[in-house]
Amino acid sequence: MDLNLCLKVLDAEQIRQADQFTIKNEPIHSIDLMERASEEFVKWFTAQFSADSPVVIFCGTGNNGGDGLVICRLLNEAGYMVSLFCVGDPDSGSRDFKINYDYIQNYDIPQTVIEEGNFPELTTGTIIIDAIFGSGLSRPVVGLIADLINHLNEQPCAFRVAVDIASGLGCNERFEEGAIMLATHTVSFQVPKLSLLLPDNEKQSGQLVIKSIGLVEEYIQSLSSSFYYSTEDFIKSFIRSRGKFSHKGTAGKNLLVAGGLGKMGAAVLASKACLRSGAGLLTVHVPGCGINVLQNSVPEAMVIVDEQDHLISKMNSISEFDVIGVGPGIGIDRMTALAINQILDQFDRPMVIDADALNILSENKEWIEKIPKGSVLTPHPGEFRRLVGDWNDDYERLDKQIRFCAEHDLIVLLKGANSSICNSDGTVIFNSTGNPGMATGGSGDVLTGIITALLGQGYSGYESAVLGAHLHGLSGDLYVRKYTEETLIASDLIDFLPEAFRKVSGR
């Protein structure tokens, strides 16, 4: 895995250093770098929004405001109906802000300096561009500007587009007090900011777009960070092709422990996803009630039938398997918990642990030490909370995830938008694929099947989690390109896995 092929998540000071290094060593004047960033924003904006809607730009007096001034000029030249509101005293602005402020006076653009009492009332079709504060903000926004932001958040506007980051949102933190712009879109420059990747800030970040502005990549790679944002090039760097003489025995002997009365669908979804992700041999341990379901729905899988008809109660010999995936639909009955403990006592190779198996662990935390090192846990936030306790915000949750992985030498894939995948060394990769349509029952069962198959084919636990999350989300994205988010169901993810594999393998 070449992490240099990911986008590195940097803090505000590191971003400032990268700007300054580029200005000095490209070399390029800072005002020309501002022009370059604004051009990238405008290219995206004009591809997304027609010139029919009025555009209102709010600029602070720092360099983020300078970006807004250039964006204002470029959109005006492109035929958009643009008006400008300056937030603060233009005479006290940064050097590049003042140059662009003087320049824009040559254009016939309605301009207003914001004061108490002259906040604009905007119409439903208006698009707000927020260039008040950038990623360097180090304190909460209060006073007049806070009142303005709160006012704009209440306006019935079509869209609020943030330049680099929503005003009021810290690059690596969320301030307890102060106003924050509610953005429907954020166009972030060069690298993602941590705050834009966390669920707590969804309403303040909206749809994230990252645009390169040509900062010196070698310098960015020299900066230290534990956080990364996956890219397709990164995934392509470690996905493998099968050898000419591969056979079903070399592609993984997989065991899935899944299903219960009324929940055999979870076993079917995990099984189909596992096979569709390259598993050589798949055996599924199911309750007695599941034998006909599995044999009819997944004829490629072998089936072990539990002695109990409605639940998993006891494991037979499991030493022959390369990997075990456990959890989908199994319930949390006491007998099932004992079966999980039996697996943990007998199996010493990496596992995939999901769903009810995680809930069983949360009730028997002393068993966590038995989990084979390098195993992959795939909780959603509720399951993770039961494992590690509550948190105040997503920054604290991320810290708990890092500490849990380090303490137990495990990989945790915390599911959700931009799923965070943490290794035992503290490296966190945020997944860049997926969409809201995947918030549907059975989606996690599909992910369990994918990761189990990848582990069985010889990928490490971390590689399997990262690749699995990418393929899972990409399948959802490919579906949505053809259909809609609302119509997506979990089995659609399996249907689009072949196309996802083809896309990342380059074949």
Helix ranges restricted to H, 332-442: 334-346, 355-363, 381-388, 394-408
Judged against a pLDDT cut of 80, whether residue 382 lies above it is answered with: yes
Average pLDDT of span 212-233: 97
What are the extents of the domains in the chain? 7-223, 236-505
Task: Give the separation between CA 197 and CA 204, rounded to whole angstroms.
Answer: 11
Cα dihedral sign, 334-339-345-348: negative
Instruction: State the pTM of this model.
Output: 0.96
How does residue 316 score in pLDDT terms, banded at 50, 70 and 90? confident
Q: Among residues 295, 14, 307, which one has the least CA distance to residue 172?
A: 14
CA R_g for the chain? 26
Task: Give the separation between CA 104 and CA 57, rounded to whole angstroms.
Answer: 13
Q: How high does pLDDT run on average in the chain?
A: 97
Tens digit of pLDDT for each residue in 152-169? 999 999 899 999 999 999
Task: Give the separation between CA 456 and CA 416, rounded to whole angstroms.
Answer: 25
Residue found by looking up tokens 């943490």 in the block:
422
Class of domain 7-223: alpha beta
Helix ranges restricted to H, 347-460: 355-363, 381-388, 394-408, 443-456
Buried-exposed string 276-301: b where 16+ CB fall within 10 A, e elsewhere:
bbbbbbbbbbbbebbbebbeebbeeb
H helix and E strand count, the chain: 18, 18
How does residue 101 score in pLDDT terms, banded at 50, 70 and 90? very high
The reported pLDDT for the residue numbered 250 is 82
Check: CB of residue 262 under 8 Å from CB of residue 287.
Answer: no
Check: CB of residue 34 under 8 Å from CB of residue 100.
Answer: yes
Burial class (CB in 10 A: 0-12, 13-18, 19+), 19: buried
Judged against a pLDDT cut of 90, whether residue 247 lies above it is answered with: no
The reported pLDDT for the residue numbered 241 is 86
* Poorest-pLDDT segment among 317-321, 323-327, 463-467: 317-321
Token pair for residue 59?
């600029």
The reported pLDDT for the residue numbered 437 is 97
Report cis status (omega within 30 of 0) of the bond before 90. no
Catalogue the E-assigned strands of 218-347: 227-229, 253-257, 281-286, 302-305, 323-326
Token pair for residue 473?
């989300």
Judged against a pLDDT cut of 80, whether residue 507 lies above it is answered with: no
Tens digit of pLDDT for each residue in 250-269? 889 999 999 999 999 999 99
* Poorest-pLDDT segment among 226-235, 347-356, 498-507: 498-507
Quick one: fold of 236-505? Answer: UDP-N-acetylmuramoyl-L-alanine:D-glutamate ligase (3.40.1190)
Using DSSP, state whether 507 is helix, strand or coil.
coil
Judged against a pLDDT cut of 80, whether residue 297 lies above it is answered with: yes
